[in-house]
Structure 1
Amino acid sequence: MPKLAIVPEALCPELVDEDAAFEAVSKAFAAMAEDKASNFPVVREAIGHADALYGFKGGFDRAGMTLGVKAGGYWPHNIDRGVTNHQSTVFLFNPDTGQPSALVGGNYLTAVRTAAAAAVSIRHLAREDSRVLGMIGAGHQSAFQMRAAVRQRHFEKVVAWNPHPEMLPRLAETAKELDLPFEAVELDQLGAEADVIITITSSFAPTLLAEHVRPGTHIACMGTDTKGKQEVEAVLLKAASVFTDEVDQSVTIGEAQHAIAEGLVDRAAITPIGAVIAGLHPGRASQDEITLFDGTGVALQDLAVAAVAVERARERGVAQEIEL
């Protein structure tokens, strides 16, 4: 009899580390570029209760035979209840029969797969001699981003800025764990020093401006995943070579939505990062080129890391199995 595997949230950090997430997300992006996988239209709505946003992201990876959906969203008052604001669960299905195959806690996996996407962009687009990592944002996701990023280049220092400076000690502690010097700086200094910049905020107005960014910088914009959100000045996308996880999402809910609306960037000029991974695009063209990755977050990332969690949970005998 088919069985449904349940992998609770608490087990996921033990099952999927940064390296496993990186590998899973890389494969999903490559499958997308090779037309072997596709994401379904995103549903994301205010539910009219608890100020919450709730939605669904689904997709099917024919290369990895992974079919499923992530359901969840953002409950801004959860912090007062001692619960994480972002809540999600991944449901996997047997692509041959449509029967449910797994139910996986999605909170940690969302964080680690988002960081993995930024790390993938650093691996394939940042200059090899990148030594200073710039962080804009100091929320829950920021520590995941730093840990994943430092696995891709030999960074020697972290510089950071946050609209609420009192939150920066979180990043300072993470840098200390990674044995990296840390400095809180203003945005102009961050741009002057950083070879790689990760933005991970929930901003609806640009903080990083074109004048802050020097030639040769790689920028991973990881916070914009909804209409209206914006982390960087739209003209910066005109100055950069723009890559993304999925073009459709980039131009509608990602950082590119503003540059497209202002006529600064043409959709055809935006390249899926999977094309670089699969060897269909050369990636960075020169040392002075500014590269920008618009990480909007796609369902196939969630499904890929959830599939890894299920596989490892079953191998270790820690998945809860229920007969259908």
Structure 2
Amino acid sequence: MTLILTRSDVLRLITLPEVFTAVQRAHADLARGEAVAPAPPAMRLPGTDAAFLVMAAASRPAGLAVVKLLADMPSNADHALPVQRSAILAVSAADGSCEALIDGAAVTRVRTAAASAVATAALARPDSRVLGLVGAGALARAHVHALAAVLPFDRIVVWSRTEATAHAFAAETGAEICTAAADVVHAADVLCTLTPAREPVVRGAWFRPGLHVNAVGAPPRADHREIDSEGMRRARVVVDSRLSALHESGDVLIPLREGVFGPEHIDTELGEVLIGAKPGRTERDQITLFNSLGIGLQDLAAARLLIDAARKHGIGADIDLTA
């Protein structure tokens, strides 16, 4: 039987602490060679702005192989529809049977915030106390909850292009609203960029010594980025996946094309830092940056949790696809 989990089912079942641990373990498994996460192919429809990404992964420890089909459709914003939609198909790594079909929206939001928290715990200065957010939507809210679990922030600062969004976020989180993105960067010990930017919204000239950056929001397109080339050059860059970064990250590919740095600048994956194969932060004043594209292995980690929890609590619907 195949388990069907709707968005409301996922929201009933998913918990940040468990996803944090699962994502941390998944990146370590990738570094040890116990899981695979190939670069996602992108399919583009001629004459449209739509892109469809196939985010796949397989894990021996989790006993799953998954594919998340992500639809990135900027024109949806003109019709008050989500710009990104996704669904996750999970099959047994033991026998190939279809275990689950899961709505991807909440999974993507929570596992993305969890990955930023894992990277922050591994790379940020332990005495970081100011969390800065460029962007104030649902992903920013998820990041506040996820990062508060790994560092005792006593101040949150935020900037958003939309004033109403910033005020709603501040009312919910107690954040201080800044009038410019530069003000957030100057104040932050840990910075999260969470915008669907095409052109840089954050400049490396603004970075203070000791800053940690989670660059999260730019869509997975080679011409989209949130951080300028100088910011990427100044930072000790850690990626979630080298294959994905070299395939679809504008934050990485644009400065590479410009000759600002070479491939060696992005030779470290998060999992390699977690297992001690490569260093993370090496100096207190070093600037570190986690380039977070999101990979299918993170979706797999969350899917394993959801399937097990749904079976335990009797949540979701079962359908026999072979009938």
Query: What's the TM-score, normalizing by structure 2?
Result: 0.92
Letter in 1 for 2:314: G
Letter in 2 for 1:286: E
Q: What are the equivalent positions in structure 2 for 1:232-311 lying under 5 Å apart?
A: 232-254=227-249, 255-270=251-266, 271-311=268-308
Residue ranges of structure 2 left out of the alignment (5+ in a row): none
Q: What are the equivalent positions in structure 2 for 1:136-285 lying under 5 Å apart?
A: 136-176=134-174, 181-224=175-218, 225-254=220-249, 255-270=251-266, 271-285=268-282
Q: Check whether the contact 2:42–2:51 (CA below 8 A) recurs between aligned residues.
A: yes
Letter in 2 for 1:265: F
Letter in 1 for 2:297: L
Q: Distance in 1 between matches of 2:115 and 2:54?
A: 19
Q: Distance in 1 between matches of 2:202 and 2:80?
A: 32
Letter in 1 for 2:303: A
Using the TM superposition, name which of 36-45 and 87-96 deviates more: 36-45
Q: Check whether the contact 2:38–2:244 (CA below 8 A) recurs between aligned residues.
A: no
1:277-305 deviation per Cα after TM superposition (whole angstroms, max 9, x unaligned): 11222311111000000001111111110
Asked whether 1:68 is paired with 2:66, we answer yes
Q: Distance in 2 between matches of 1:51 and 1:259?
A: 24
Letter in 2 for 1:173: A
Letter in 2 for 1:227: A
Q: Check whether the contact 2:62–2:304 (CA below 8 A) recurs between aligned residues.
A: no
Letter in 2 for 1:164: T
SS in 1 for 2:200: strand
Letter in 2 for 1:282: P
Q: Distance in 2 between matches of 1:63 and 1:37?
A: 8
The equivalent of 2:14 in structure 1 is 16
Q: Check whether the contact 2:129–2:155 (CA below 8 A) recurs between aligned residues.
A: yes
SS in 2 for 1:202: coil
SS in 1 for 2:201: strand
SS in 2 for 1:14: helix
Q: What are the equivalent positions in structure 2 for 1:85-104 lying under 5 Å apart?
A: 85-104=83-102
Letter in 1 for 2:53: G
Q: Check whether the contact 2:189–2:211 (CA below 8 A) recurs between aligned residues.
A: yes
Query: What's the TM-score, normalizing by structure 1?
Result: 0.92
Q: Distance in 1 between matches of 2:25 and 2:115?
A: 11
Q: Check whether the contact 2:87–2:103 (CA below 8 A) recurs between aligned residues.
A: yes
Letter in 2 for 1:289: Q
1:218-256 deviation per Cα after TM superposition (whole angstroms, max 9, x unaligned): 000002321101101112122111101001222332221
SS in 2 for 1:60: strand
Letter in 2 for 1:246: S
Letter in 2 for 1:72: L
Runs ≥4 residues deviating over 3 A: 46-52, 75-85
The equivalent of 2:309 in structure 1 is 312
Q: Check whether the contact 1:146–1:174 (CA below 8 A) recurs between aligned residues.
A: no
- Shift in Å at residue 81 of structure 1? 6.2
Q: Distance in 1 between matches of 2:264 and 2:62?
A: 28
Query: Residue 36 of structure 2: which of 34, 38, 42 is its match?
Result: 38
Q: Distance in 2 between matches of 1:43 and 1:134?
A: 33
Letter in 2 for 1:301: Q
Q: Check whether the contact 1:159–1:190 (CA below 8 A) recurs between aligned residues.
A: yes
Instruction: Evaluate the alpha carbon distance shift between residue 309 and residue 81 of structure 1 in structure 2; reply closer, same or farther with a 3 A threshold.
Output: farther
SS in 1 for 2:208: coil
SS in 2 for 1:205: coil
Residue ranges of structure 1 left out of the alignment (5+ in a row): none
- Shift in Å at residue 174 of structure 1? 3.4
1:32-85 deviation per Cα after TM superposition (whole angstroms, max 9, x unaligned): 111111113313233358753323111111222220100131344556766533
1:247-275 deviation per Cα after TM superposition (whole angstroms, max 9, x unaligned): 12223322211221122222223210111
Using the TM superposition, name which of 163-172 and 228-237 deviates more: 163-172
Higher strand share: 1
User: Matched residue pairs, number?
Assistant: 318
Q: Check whether the contact 2:117–2:147 (CA below 8 A) recurs between aligned residues.
A: yes
Q: Check whether the contact 1:104–1:310 (CA below 8 A) recurs between aligned residues.
A: no
Q: Check whether the contact 2:50–2:72 (CA below 8 A) recurs between aligned residues.
A: yes
Letter in 2 for 1:13: L
1:80-107 deviation per Cα after TM superposition (whole angstroms, max 9, x unaligned): 7665332111101111222211111111
